[in-house]
Amino acid sequence: MPKKSTKLAKPSAEGGDHPSATRGEMPASNRAARALERRAAIVEAAMEEFIARGFAATRLDDIAKRAGVAKGTIYLHFKDKESMFEELVRIVIVPVVARLTALPPPTGSVRDLIEAFAGNFLKEVIGTRRGDLVRLIVAEGPRFPAVADFYYREVVSRGIAAMRGLIELGIARGEIRQKDLARYPQILVAPAMIAVIWQSLFARHAPLDAQDMLRVHLDLIFGERRTT
Amino acid sequence: MPKKSTKLAKPSAEGGDHPSATRGEMPASNRAARALERRAAIVEAAMEEFIARGFAATRLDDIAKRAGVAKGTIYLHFKDKESMFEELVRIVIVPVVARLTALPPPTGSVRDLIEAFAGNFLKEVIGTRRGDLVRLIVAEGPRFPAVADFYYREVVSRGIAAMRGLIELGIARGEIRQKDLARYPQILVAPAMIAVIWQSLFARHAPLDAQDMLRVHLDLIFGERRTT
Amino acid sequence: MPKKSTKLAKPSAEGGDHPSATRGEMPASNRAARALERRAAIVEAAMEEFIARGFAATRLDDIAKRAGVAKGTIYLHFKDKESMFEELVRIVIVPVVARLTALPPPTGSVRDLIEAFAGNFLKEVIGTRRGDLVRLIVAEGPRFPAVADFYYREVVSRGIAAMRGLIELGIARGEIRQKDLARYPQILVAPAMIAVIWQSLFARHAPLDAQDMLRVHLDLIFGERRTT
Amino acid sequence: MPKKSTKLAKPSAEGGDHPSATRGEMPASNRAARALERRAAIVEAAMEEFIARGFAATRLDDIAKRAGVAKGTIYLHFKDKESMFEELVRIVIVPVVARLTALPPPTGSVRDLIEAFAGNFLKEVIGTRRGDLVRLIVAEGPRFPAVADFYYREVVSRGIAAMRGLIELGIARGEIRQKDLARYPQILVAPAMIAVIWQSLFARHAPLDAQDMLRVHLDLIFGERRTT
DNA sequence: AATGAATGAGAATTCATTCAT
DNA sequence: CATGAATGAATTCTCATTCAT
């Protein structure tokens, strides 16, 4: 089925940024570019389906349909359903980690830093597809040790370490009173994680103002801010 | 595993004494009692399997085997796999809620109350089958709105309400400084939830001293305790 | 697991020998008997299909259809296609070997013995389903070492040994001149094997009077018979 | 593996010299010669694969890989898998028949002739790829009537006729006693065929000295040779 | 001519559900 | 009531064949 789309060909012409262009416009693009597009479409579709149904209940057929490719095409990119799932998590998480790792230079107060961080998290994770991915990992982790390992190694342990660094800095600067907090950076991120899960599960029962909640939580840790 | 065999016993006799002597717990066990036992065995087995594999990947065959009944027997108690799952969550959660609802009379400080509560939670939920059930609900909730609804209604909303009550009491008594906390009781329970998830997913990567973490968190909310 | 076995119970009633009864006629037969019937039907059908198409080209669907069972039923009896094939060969060959092993008492001349044997072979193997099975083993042997091993162990090595015994007896009694023949019993059976293969492959090109050919071959070995 | 790349060379030039210098065998190799080479490589590879796995289990992908061509290239030479198989048998067998047909002039005794023949067969067929081809034909014959027909017509019937001629000559010259043998030349070749099959299937269980066996067999037919 | 990515029909296998015993 | 053999729809994965480059 000719699904050409030049997306990345001559990036000079028509900004190649809107990746979900409805396709079909440009007959030029080459094979490799197409393959990449297809792969991206598969990844996108698979993520969508896995999030919506979980690993076991997701049908490759549906992924293929959603990605606009034939079933067999999936197997040109992934060995089987399991490794597709495992690779998927990597593929989606790596760039997120990369972006977060490229932290802004630590200027200003620790609280400001953490607030910036939380703001980012709020915008990029809570209530987004990325947040659903976190829930998916929580859901499937026990059956996919490789995924849990990867997630722990790349995200959790790094995140914990970074938070611990910030907490210690906060303590050193006198912004944070409670010294024990450095032993459990989990406490710092717990409400954010809960917000992620809440949005996935209970948003429709009781919407949660995650931003406000995180502010309250930071007040708890740093002391209430004197309203400027 | 109960492999009774009254099957060929004269059904008239009905007395479950002689042939099925293998089980000794219930002296005058009659049909109804047996049925209840079976049902309980099925519930127990199903919970184990669902927790271990998730809904979709769980085989009724395995549940039957584990429960020591025939596959068909399951259908005498549950309409199908889906409703079995939904009922299961109810069946398992209701008594827990019942017990928690029968709160101890609120004597002593709020912190003591909450600590008692946390201690309970620690013992009864974190790192136990019950904790896994929470993870299971997080995992399957999106595909089982009925489950998410039920869980929200029976557990989450009540828990939040109860916590809010305690927080307000704490504020009124001057134990808790930060008044905004009453708006987000989630913050109070977040570390406990995180502990539940952590034990399921990352215990083997980095063990977590949940008890200590919860103490630190309470110190954060109530102020550090002057070490008696 | 209640595997009652009335199967062999009253063997007096209703002769249980016609296993391929078109089913449905006799409402009496019990579960176990039915299961055996089904199994036999599957074996029969599978043999038919494997012989006709070879292992790889045979569809389980067709076997099921021919056996009059559902696809899933096959898996109640055999682990998968491969082990079905391997077991099949055993199942079909064992009784044949058993019958041949129960040799008639070696009275009369060696030639008479071998002729009796050849007659049997002619009737029971050449040009029959059993002969086709031999061709099937030749065809699939290299891909099914287990089958080749089994066939060598149970049929070939025994057959060779038996033939060698007869040849040595014939030499001792002066019926066979050429002593070297005892080293290659294969020579004795070669024409019979060729006849088997010929019937499978070339019967329609040029029919072969296997009986006469075997007689000529025996004349070659024992000397021409003076027509009594 | 020939991975030439004239693909982008100016098709006008046609000279296979500069860009595709990788292969040195054929000084002025032009398109047609290359095509023939490829075809030969495909035939060779296909034969290997078909012999190793049988028709149905052989993947075109593997043939292509082994032949060092792309999958699509196979379709430039053969209509589809089936006709490839049928043509293959022809392609491989024809030259063998041609060589055998160009018999050495019948000088010397019939036994010498047949021995020469057997020696040839021993060297060129038994235990070689060619022998495996015979087994392949036995295996696939029933599913490929065209192959069986061809093989019967070109090889079997001719071989039988030739053998009959030799036998009759042997009878006429008094070398062979048993006149009936002329009716069943199959008897003459049976041990050779058995040797072919034995090497394919049972060589690892019990090696067979085919040469010695054939000698014994000829002794049986011609009388034991007085050891010169 | 040659390539190999893409296709999708087809085959093996699984498992929830039914029902005769 | 209980059983578990039987069913067949559904799902994953393979591979011959096509066709744009």
Q: How many helices (H) and strands (E) are present in chain B, helices listed first?
A: 10, 0
Q: CA A222 to CA B8: how far, in whole Å?
A: 73
Query: Which CATH number is associated with domain A84-222?
Result: 1.10.357.10
What pLDDT score does D20 carry? Answer: 42
Q: CA B38 to CA B22: how far, in whole Å?
A: 14
What is the tens place of the pLDDT at every residue in B190-212? 999 999 999 999 999 999 999 99
| Nearest-by-CA chain C residue for D214 | C187
As its CATH architecture, domain A1-77 has: Orthogonal Bundle (1.10)
* Mutate which: A150, A188, A201, A221, vs B, most B CBs within 10 A: A201
Q: Which of A20-34, D57-71, D98-112 has the lowest mean pLDDT?
A: A20-34
CA–chain centroid gap for A115, Å, is 19
* Between residues D102 and D56, the one the model is more confident about: D56
Q: CA A113 to CA A105: how far, in whole Å?
A: 9
Q: Where in chain C is the domain with CATH 1.10.10.60?
A: 30-78
What pLDDT score does A29 carry? Answer: 64
Share of chain A above pLDDT 90, in %: 68
* Stated length of chain C: 228
> Mean pLDDT over residues A158-174, rounded?
94
**At C107, is the pLDDT very low, low, confident or very high (cuts 50, 70, 90)?**
confident
Whether B71 shows a pLDDT value over 90: the answer reads: yes
Q: CA A168 to CA A184: how far, in whole Å?
A: 11
Q: CA D31 to CA B52: how far, in whole Å?
A: 63
* Mutate which: B187, B197, B215, B218, vs A, most A CBs within 10 A: B187
**At B2, is the pLDDT very low, low, confident or very high (cuts 50, 70, 90)?**
very low
Instruction: Name A residues 187-226 whose Cβ lies under 7 Å from strand E.
Output: none
- Which residues on chain D are in Cβ contact (under 8 Å) with C205? 148-149, 152-153, 156-157
CA dihedral D122, D125, D129, D132 (to 10 degrees): -110
Whether A4 shows a pLDDT value over 50: the answer reads: no
Q: Which CATH superfamily is domain C30-78 in?
A: Homeodomain-like (1.10.10.60)
Q: Decide: CB of D60 under 7 A of nucleic strand F.
A: yes
What pLDDT score does B192 carry? Answer: 95
What pLDDT score does A58 carry? Answer: 96
CB-side neighbour CA atoms (13 Å) of D84? 26
Torsion sign across C-alpha atoms B8, B14, B17, B23: positive
As a whole number, the mean pLDDT across chain A is 85
**At D96, is the pLDDT very low, low, confident or very high (cuts 50, 70, 90)?**
confident
Other C-beta atoms within 10 Å of A150: how many? 19
**At A127, is the pLDDT very low, low, confident or very high (cuts 50, 70, 90)?**
confident
Q: CA A114 to CA A106: how far, in whole Å?
A: 10
Give every CB contact of residue A130 below 8 A, 6+ residues apart in sequence: A92, A96, A124
Q: CA D101 to CA C203: how far, in whole Å?
A: 25
- Give the distance from residue C40's alpha carbon to the nearest chain D alpha carbon, in angstroms: 25
* Domain B6-77, CATH number (from 1.10.10.60, 1.10.3720.10, 1.10.10.10, 1.25.40.10): 1.10.10.60
Q: How many angstroms separate the Cα of A162 from the Cα of each of A168, A170, A185, A222? A: 10, 12, 9, 17
Give every CB contact of residue D136 below 8 A, 6+ residues apart in sequence: D50, D51, D54
Main-chain phi, psi angles of A227, to 5 degrees: -55, 110
The residue behind tokens 């060379």 is D9
- Give the distance from residue A70's alpha carbon to the nearest chain B alpha carbon, in angstroms: 25
* Between residues D153 and A108, the one the model is more confident about: D153
Instruction: Note the CA–C1' distance, A82 to F15, in angstroms.
Output: 21
CA–chain centroid gap for B145, Å, is 18
The b-or-e profile of D144-173 (16+ CB within 10 A means b, else e) is: beebbebbbebbbeebbeebbebbbbbbee
A219: nearest CB among B178, B213, B219:
B178
What is the tens place of the pLDDT at every residue in D161-190? 999 999 999 999 999 999 999 999 999 999
Q: Where in chain B is the domain with CATH 1.10.357.10?
A: 83-222
Instruction: Inspect the interface and report whether the beta carbons of A139 and B143 lie closer than 8 Å.
Output: no
Q: CA C69 to CA D158: how far, in whole Å?
A: 47
What pLDDT score does B15 carry? Answer: 39
- Which stretches of chain C are DSSP H helices? 31-57, 60-67, 71-77, 81-101, 110-124, 129-140, 145-151, 157-172, 185-201, 210-222
Closest CA to B68 of B42, B47, B89, B92: B42
Q: Are B147 and B89 in contact (CB under 8 A)?
A: yes
The nucleotide minimizing the C1' distance to residue D73's CA is E2
Structure-block tokens of residue B139: 């995992």
**Chains A and B make contact, 3+ CB pairs within 8 Å:** yes
What is the tens place of the pLDDT at every residue in C160-212? 999 999 999 999 999 999 999 999 999 999 999 999 999 999 999 999 999 99
CA–chain centroid gap for A43, Å, is 14
Q: How many angstroms separate the Cα of B169 from the Cα of each of A81, C43, D145? A: 52, 76, 92
Instruction: Note the CA–C1' distance, C129 to F5, in angstroms.
Output: 30
Closest CA to C162 of C116, C123, C212, C214: C116
Q: CA B201 to CA A152: how far, in whole Å?
A: 9
Structure-block tokens of residue D203: 């060589």
CA–chain centroid gap for A158, Å, is 15
Start-to-end Cα distance in chain C: 65
**At B4, is the pLDDT very low, low, confident or very high (cuts 50, 70, 90)?**
very low
* Between residues D27 and A57, the one the model is more confident about: A57
What pLDDT score does D50 carry? Answer: 96
Q: CA B7 to CA C104: how far, in whole Å?
A: 49
Q: Which CATH superfamily is domain D29-78 in?
A: Homeodomain-like (1.10.10.60)
CB-side neighbour CA atoms (13 Å) of D125? 25
Q: CA B88 to CA B74: how far, in whole Å?
A: 12
C54: nearest CB among D143, D152, D156:
D143
What pLDDT score does D105 carry? Answer: 65
Residue type, D146: A
Main-chain phi, psi angles of A188, to 5 degrees: -65, -40
Query: Assign residue A197 a region: left if phi > 0, alpha if psi is -120 to 50, beta otherwise?
Result: alpha
| Nearest-by-CA chain C residue for D195 | C186
Q: CA B47 to CA B198: how far, in whole Å?
A: 20
* Between residues B208 and D10, the one the model is more confident about: B208
Whether D27 shows a pLDDT value over 60: the answer reads: no
Q: CA D87 to CA D42: how far, in whole Å?
A: 12
HEC letters along A16-33? CCCCCCCCCCCCCCCHHH
Whether C148 shows a pLDDT value over 50: the answer reads: yes
As its CATH architecture, domain B83-222 has: Orthogonal Bundle (1.10)
Structure-block tokens of residue D137: 């034909």
Chains that contact B by 3+ CB pairs under 8 Å? A
Q: CA A176 to CA C134: how far, in whole Å?
A: 85
Closest CA to B39 of B88, B104, B109: B88
A138: nearest CB among B139, B186, B205:
B139
Instruction: Inspect the interface and report whether the beta carbons of C152 and D202 lie closer than 8 Å.
Output: yes
Q: CA B183 to CA A7: how far, in whole Å?
A: 48
What pLDDT score does D101 carry? Answer: 77
Q: CA A220 to CA D24: how far, in whole Å?
A: 80
What is the tens place of the pLDDT at every residue in C1-60? 444 443 333 434 343 344 444 444 444 567 788 888 899 999 999 999 999 999 999 999
Chains that contact A by 3+ CB pairs under 8 Å? B
The b-or-e profile of B67-102 (16+ CB within 10 A means b, else e) is: bebeeebbeebbeebeebbbbbbebbbeeeeeebee
As its CATH architecture, domain C90-228 has: Orthogonal Bundle (1.10)
- Give the distance from residue C144's alpha carbon to the nearest chain D alpha carbon, in angstroms: 10
Chains that contact D by 3+ CB pairs under 8 Å? C
Q: CA C125 to CA B146: how far, in whole Å?
A: 65
What H or E segment, with its residue span, contains residue B188?
helix B185-201
Structure-block tokens of residue A21: 């262009």
Burial bucket for residue B118 (CB in 10 Å: 0-12, 13-18, 19+): buried
Main-chain phi, psi angles of A137, to 5 degrees: -65, -40
Q: Decide: CB of A111 under 7 A of nucleic strand E.
A: no
- Identify the three-state secondary structure at position C48: helix
What is the tens place of the pLDDT at every residue in D189-198? 999 999 999 9
What pLDDT score does D106 carry? Answer: 64
Instruction: Note the CA–C1' distance, B129 to F4, in angstroms.
Output: 30
Instruction: Inspect the interface and report whether the beta carbons of C220 and D178 lie closer than 8 Å.
Output: yes
Q: Are A26 and A4 in contact (CB under 8 A)?
A: yes
